[in-house]
């Protein structure tokens, strides 16, 4: 890896952090170390980095704000890529050209300042544009699918292409990017509607207060753990099993919202994963429903197909 690190530095690809603790880059505040973390300066530098990764057969993971992932406690024997430098934000009437590394909440607030509406649903989602598009993030009966016009992607062949909304194949917490190995979201064009700034600000304010009442924002977490089964709420299923407060090590099912696992202090990733497995087992035993994990489980050597459901 030392040779690769030297090459990356000689190519001036961007800032490099050796042996970073992933607990500093995820909202759960857990996870082992990675071999390397790289912030490519631009698309050309990212392509150069990907050429090195492909040539050396190194695994990689593109990490946004770390708000929807659970890394294991083990060493990630590869390169973490962060696209923080891909932070362009340009307004043109009711469309926005935005880089994958741009903070989603920032984009929401800037769109409101421009009297645009349609993104208010995302005002409490602490991710990046790239991560939100990858997961088709949503809330309040809306989702990224409703505002994305097209997405710029780097393919596994290192070609920059543009995918339309239809080509993105958005579904509930799904996009084509989850099924195209090596595809990296570089940015997107969002199409919003003309709105009223004060009305949008009021909606955002009300929802912020609602989140404070109903979500455990005082603890590190990664948001909703499980996807909602059709016509049901995972949180209600878990709550009805009296699992609020169930704790393993420093991880606990929130007393405020049963579909949140929180780090109440000193949690390990394995504590969180143990709770996830326990909840899936109990919900299936009681309701014969297979809960699907919404969060991405990364670097777990023992992951089975069942975990990926």
CA distance 65 to 70: 12
Tokens of 1: 């890896």
CB 175 within 8 A of CB 164: no
* Residue 226: DSSP 8-state: B
Q: What is the CATH number of domain 89-200?
A: 3.30.465.10
Cβ atoms of residues 173 and 127 within 8 Å:
no
Q: Where are the domains of the chain?
A: 2-81, 89-200, 218-298
Within this chain, domains 2-81 and 89-200 share the same CATH topology: no
Could you tell me if 98 and 188 are in contact, meaning their C-beta atoms sit under 8 angstroms apart? yes
In CATH terms, the fold of domain 218-298 is 3.90.78
Give CATH for domain 2-81: 3.30.43.10
Q: What pLDDT is stored for residue 152 in this prediction?
A: 98
Query: Which helix or strand (DSSP H or E) is residue 38 part of?
Result: strand 34-40
Beta bridge partners of 33: 21
Q: How would you class 308 by CB atoms within 10 Å of its CB: exposed for 0-12, middle for 13-18, buried for 19 or more? A: exposed
Contact 202, 104 (CB under 8 A): no
List residues with catalytic annotation: 173, 224, 294
**What's the confidence (pLDDT) of residue 308?**
47
- Mind listing the pLDDT tens digit of every residue in the chain (309 residues)? 889 999 999 999 999 999 999 999 999 999 999 999 999 999 999 999 999 999 999 999 999 999 999 999 999 999 999 999 999 999 999 999 999 999 999 999 999 999 999 999 999 999 999 999 999 999 999 999 999 999 999 999 999 999 999 999 999 999 999 999 999 999 999 999 999 999 999 999 999 999 999 999 999 999 999 999 999 999 999 999 999 999 999 999 999 999 999 999 999 999 999 999 999 999 999 999 999 999 999 999 866 444 544
């Amino acid at each position: 890896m030392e040779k690769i690190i030297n090459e990356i530095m000689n190519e001036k690809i961007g800032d490099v952090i050796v042996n970073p603790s992933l607990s500093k880059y995820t909202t759960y505040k857990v996870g082992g170390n990675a071999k390397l973390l790289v912030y490519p300066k631009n698309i050309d530098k990212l392509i150069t980095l990907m050429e090195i990764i492909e040539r050396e057969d190194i695994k990689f993971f593109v990490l946004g704000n770390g708000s929807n992932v659970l890394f294991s406690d083990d060493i990630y024997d590869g390169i973490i890529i962060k696209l923080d430098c891909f932070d362009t934000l340009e307004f043109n009437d009711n469309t926005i050209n935005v880089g994958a590394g741009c903070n989603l909440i920032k984009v929401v607030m800037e769109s409101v300042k421009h009297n645009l509406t349609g993104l208010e649903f995302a005002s409490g989602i602490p991710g990046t544009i790239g991560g939100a598009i990858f997961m088709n993030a949503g809330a309040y009966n809306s989702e990224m699918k409703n505002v994305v016009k097209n997405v710029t992607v780097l393919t596994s062949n290192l070609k920059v292409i543009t995918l339309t909304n239809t080509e993105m194949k958005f579904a509930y917490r799904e996009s084509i990017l989850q099924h195209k190995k090596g595809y990296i979201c570089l940015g997107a064009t969002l199409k919003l509607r003309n709105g009223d700034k004060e009305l949008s600000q009021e909606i955002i304010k009300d929802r912020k207060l609602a989140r404070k009442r109903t979500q455990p924002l005082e603890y590190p977490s990664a948001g909703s753990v499980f996807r909602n089964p059709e016509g049901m709420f995972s949180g209600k299923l878990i709550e009805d099993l009296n699992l609020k407060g169930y704790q393993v090590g420093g991880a606990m099912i929130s007393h405020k919202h049963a579909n949140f696992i929180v780090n109440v202090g000193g949690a390990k990733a394995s504590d969180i994963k143990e709770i996830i497995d326990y909840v899936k087992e109990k919900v299936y035993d009681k309701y014969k429903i297979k809960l699907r994990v919404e969060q991405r489980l990364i670097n777990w050597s023992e992951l089975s197909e069942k975990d990926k459901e």
